[in-house]
Amino acid sequence: MRISKSYYYFLLFAIGFCISLSLPFLVQVATYTPPKYPLVLYSSQLHDMVRLDYSDRDFPMTDSKGNKYTPYETDSLLPLLNFRQLVADNRLPDSINHVPVNARTIANYQLSFRLSPTRIHKPVPMAYPIFESMPRRVGNIVTDHVFLLDDEVTVYDVSKNILDYEATQLFRAELEHRDFSYPAKWVVGNTNPRKKYDEGYFVLDNDGKLFQMKLVNDRPFIRNTHLQTPSGWHSFHPYEPNLHNFYGILVSNDGKMARFNIDDNGVYYLQWLDVPNIDPDVDVVKVIGNFMYWNVTVSKPEGEYTYALSAWFLNHIASDFIPVQLSVWDYIGHWIFPFVIRLKHNHTEFIEPRIMDLNPNAIWFNIILVGFYIYRKRRYGSPVRWYALASVLIFGIGAFLAMSFLPKNDVY
């Protein structure tokens, strides 16, 4: 009984795929070490970028000139970071750079948040909980309503498991009044009920207009922010600081970041971060801020860039760069595997096979495999077929092992 050639080639491809998926993963698990970067901050005392690495307990801090500092000196040179230690030691100064400070003021302005591509490229929630932005009782922001926003807005009462027609009609009327264009491109907000206050959700409609949507005194509050950028908005990363002094970071399609807030007249405004454009689908941005400076760290494949910006005007003050430290995988992986198939990736929560890390250097290893393949065929007197050699040359070790596992003499 003949085995159809189509069976053979189909299985050959499938086994080659499985090997290309699993073998690089196993080798990477054995050889990869993720890069470790020290914390880079701007010192208000030294007026310089400093690196903190607490694995060195004697001299954790190093400045840009290479001077090292003990933990005691570090506390004084980074008072806005280590203010609690200074308070415990009774060493907190009355003013920093001629600005009067106390522990409460410093604590109120502390912030730390992260902009990650995985927060954008992830499954969209089915529904969003509605919080009360002006609760009658302090802290009681949680309501029993959730809303769905697809081709229309729909509000459900989850305590009774029914559609709330009245609330739905209110929201629809308000969205229509504000000239909202369905369907929404994205809806972003803090869905965690354990927060001090609620600023609702920010919604990008189909025409690229950004709206703020929340519930105020049981009535929908929907307002067009009128914030535009030539390339359009890519994403929004919400942050709800203690002082209500901004909503979060907007990222445009060309990679510019802006902090946005509302003034006393109810007009939304932007403050652009004075940093180079990022790739919002790849780069991870971390912000560690205080009432004087924002330390913005952008993690790229080649290393980490840290920028010190003024906290008020977000203008550039200083910067630092730490190149990536290569691991054993980085040295050997691109010589062995012409490509790698990955299921998970750092940039997205979605799982699907992706061909990544195309490595032309692996052609040399593939040539060795071709030589070994020819030697085996000659030794057992089997014919050497050109398409087998081509597939080993192009697809590498996956094709070689697949053809070893499914020898051609099965087909006759």
Out of 179, 269, 349, 361, which residue is the one contacting other proteins (CB under 8 A)?
Answer: 349
Count, residues in the chain: 412
Contact region for other proteins (CB under 8 A) — 96-104, 126-134, 200-208, 233-241? 126-134
* Residue 88 found at the interface with other proteins (CB under 8 A): no
**Radius of gyration from C-alpha coordinates of the chain:** 28
Which residues, in sequence order, are bridge partners of residue 166?
none
* Residue 3 found at the interface with other proteins (CB under 8 A): yes
Closer CB to other proteins, 42 or 156, in the complex: 156
Query: DSSP letters along 1-17, please?
Result: -PPPHHHHHHHHHHHHH
User: Could you give the 3-state DSSP secondary structure of residue 310?
Assistant: strand
- Interacting residues of 140 by C-beta distance below 8 A, sequence separation 6+: 132
Closer CB to other proteins, 216 or 351, in the complex: 351
* Residue 126 found at the interface with other proteins (CB under 8 A): yes
Closer CB to other proteins, 9 or 331, in the complex: 9
340 within 8 A of 24, measured Cβ to Cβ: yes
* Residue 158 found at the interface with other proteins (CB under 8 A): yes
Burial class (CB in 10 A: 0-12, 13-18, 19+), 18: middle
Closer CB to other proteins, 323 or 407, in the complex: 407
User: Could you give the 3-state DSSP secondary structure of residue 252?
Assistant: strand
| Cα dihedral 257/262/264/266 (nearest 10) | 140
Contact region for other proteins (CB under 8 A) — 189-197, 279-287, 291-299, 358-366? 189-197
Closer CB to other proteins, 21 or 87, in the complex: 21
Out of 85, 191, 253, 261, which residue is the one contacting other proteins (CB under 8 A)?
Answer: 191
Out of 93, 139, 183, 193, which residue is the one contacting other proteins (CB under 8 A)?
Answer: 193
Write down the H helix ranges in 225-362: 328-336
For residue 392, what is the DSSP state? H
CA 162 distance to own-chain centroid: 36
Whole-angstrom distance, CA of residue 321 vs CA of residue 274? 16
Out of 18, 318, 322, 324, which residue is the one contacting other proteins (CB under 8 A)?
Answer: 18
C-alpha dihedral sign at 269, 275, 278, 284 = negative
* Residue 161 found at the interface with other proteins (CB under 8 A): yes
* Residue 30 found at the interface with other proteins (CB under 8 A): no
Closest of 149, 151, 155 to residue 168, by C-alpha: 155
Out of 42, 83, 109, 156, which residue is the one contacting other proteins (CB under 8 A)?
Answer: 156
Contact region for other proteins (CB under 8 A) — 172-180, 319-327, 344-352, 380-388? 344-352
Least gap, CB of 383 to other proteins (angstroms): 18
Positions that interact with other proteins (CB under 8 A): 1-3, 7-8, 10-11, 14-15, 18-19, 21-22, 122-129, 142, 144, 146, 148, 156, 158-159, 161, 191-193, 343-344, 349-353, 405, 410
